[in-house]
Each structure stands twice: as structure tokens, then as C-alpha cells.
Structure 1
Amino acid sequence: MRLAVISDTHLDEPSAWFERVYARHLAPADALIHCGDISGAGLLHYLMQHQSPHIVAGNMDVHWAGGDLPSTLAVELEGVRIGVSHGFGSKSGVARRVAEAFGPGYDLICYGHTHVAAVEEYRGVTLLNPGSLEIVHGEPSLAFVTLIRGHAPRIELHRIDRHGAFA
């Protein structure tokens, strides 16, 4: 199973560039995780067309989404237990705060908030931040996770160029 993971899109509506990224990279994935800070109902509606969307609210979604999006999500795909959260508080140390909030029992925790792509291990759990597709510190990025039952998740981080292709 191929899982696309994005975060921090900060768009009210999908831009032409985002639509290219979606068509090339996100739509073909078996499942899509968005780690929050969507920023608008138009983009949320667009993302919900995916065959298997898993979406949480970020700090920039509370004012327009209210309680319509969960702040955290736990999902099991291919026997892999995945936690999803936007992240909270200072951007320094957010990965560990999110991991501690979820507690034990997860194989992969996906989060955002920092706009910086990162993969790290913490207390035996893989922590994945796909970075940001719009308001970036560096280049736009996303992640793919290959899930095979009985195996550790395989993570690929990709930078995206202005044409929506891998950089």
C-alpha cells in the first residue's frame, strides 16, 4: 500500500500548482494523510475526493472548520498503527511532544506544524513530518510511505518543483 502524506497546505482553494501535484502524486496513492493547516473549506472538499482521505485539523483550521475535523486520528493500514496530529506549541520539540501525546502502541506518527520535512525515531516509533506544500522553509515537500504487512514502513521524502514534479 502506498500512502501519501502532506501537511501545511495553507490554501483556501486548490491552486493550479496544487491540482498538478494532486493529479501526479496524491490521487494515485492508495491513501492520503493530511496533517493539518489545510486553511480552507474549498481545499478540504477537494481533498475529500481522494479514495481514502485521513485528515486532521491544524491550528489554522480551528476558526473555519470548528469541530468538523478531529485534532488527532489513529488509523491502522496494512497492520501498521498510524497516529496523525498537526502538532502544537513551539515548533522546537514538536515531534517528541506529539509522540508523547499519542503514547505507546504506534508504528508511525505523522505530524506537521514546523513546515520542515523530517524523519526521526523516538522511543521505537518513526516520526514523520512531510514538510509543507505552500508556506515553506526551503522547498515544497511531501512524503510517501510504503506499507507492507509485517514490515517496517518505508518512507520517501520528496521535494516538489514549481511544475509539480519531483525536484
Structure 2
Amino acid sequence: MRIAVLSDTHLKNHKLDLPQIVVEILKNMDGIIHCGDMKEEGLLDLLEAYGPVYAVHGNGDNEALRAKLKERLVIHLGDYKIGIVHGHGEKGKTSDRAFEAFEDMEVDIILYGHSHQPLLQTKKGILMVNPGSQTAKRREKKHSMVILNLGQNLHCEFIFF
């Protein structure tokens, strides 16, 4: 099972143009996870055209998305229990806030965003992944996203463009 992981797209309804490389990848995925900050509902509708979408809202999302999406979500895909959160908050590092959001439950993977910085790390046996941003790289050299291969062997592939 191949899952595209996105975050921090920050697109407005009048400009829903995802980079072409992202569109091509989405066409070949079994599902899509978005870790928040889509901005407006139009992007959620666009992503749903490519397959099942599992998403949370972020601090930059409008009221309609906040009403539709949870702040924290746990899903089962393949043999994996995956926690999804945006990671915003007031204290500490984004990765620590993401980890703390799931410390009361058992998960194998935590996917989060907010910082726009791609990151892969393991914390207390949990794989933690921030895909970066596909459209708003901020101080990063490149835009990025992740493809999770959820087979017998878990594989996390960063795509930089």
C-alpha cells in the first residue's frame, strides 16, 4: 500500500494548482494523508478526486475545514496504526508537540507538519515523519512530500523538488 503524505500546502480556492510532480504522484497512490494547513475546503475536494483522504486541520485552516476535520486522528492502514496531527502549539519543538499528542495511545507512526521542515526520526520506537511543504518551502532549499510504503517492510521515501 502506497500513501502520499502532504502538509502545509496553504492553497487558496482561487488558486488550487498543486505542482505537477505532486499531481502525478497522487494519481498512483492508494491513499493520501494531509497533516493540516490546506487553508480552504477546495483543496480537500481536489485531493479526494485522487483517492481516500485522511486529514487533520492545522492552525492556518479556515472555519469550514476546522468544522469538518479533527485536530488529531488515528487510522489503521495495512498493519500500521498511524497518528496524524498538525503539530502547532505554544511551547517546545513541533516534533515534541506531535509526539505528545499521541503519548496516551499506541501508534507505530506519527505524521505531522507545521514547521514546513522535512524530518524523519524515531522516538521511543515510533517513526515520526514531517513531509515538509509542497508549495511553501519557507527556508528549505526544496519543496517536499513523502511516500509511505506500508508493506511487510515499512519504507518512507522523501520526494524533493
TM-score relative to the length of structure 1: 0.86
Q: How many residues align?
A: 157
Paired-residue identity, %:
32
Q: CA deviation at 1:12?
A: 1.4
Distance 1:118 1:131 in 2: 7
Report the 3-state secondary structure (helix = DSSP H, G, I; strand = E; otherwise coil) of the residue aligned with 2:60: coil
Residue 36 of structure 2 corresponds to which residue in structure 1? 36
Residue 27 of structure 1 corresponds to which residue in structure 2? 27
TM-score relative to the length of structure 2: 0.89
Residue 115 of structure 1 corresponds to which residue in structure 2? 116
Residues 16-60 of structure 1 deviation map (CA, whole Å, 9 limit, x = unaligned)? 4x1623431112111100000001122121112232111110101
Distance 1:42 1:91, change over 3 A: farther
Distance 1:30 1:154 in 2: 15
Q: Which ranges in structure 2 are unaligned for 5 or more consecutive residues?
A: none
Cα RMSD (Å) of the superposition?
1.8
Moved over 4 A (4+): none
Distance 2:131 2:72 in 1: 16
Correspondence 1:1-167 to 2 at 5 A: 1-13=1-13, 15-16=16-17, 18=18, 20-90=20-90, 93-103=93-103, 104-136=105-137, 137-138=139-140, 139-149=142-152, 151=153, 153-160=154-161
Q: CA deviation at 1:127?
A: 0.3
Q: CA deviation at 1:155?
A: 0.5
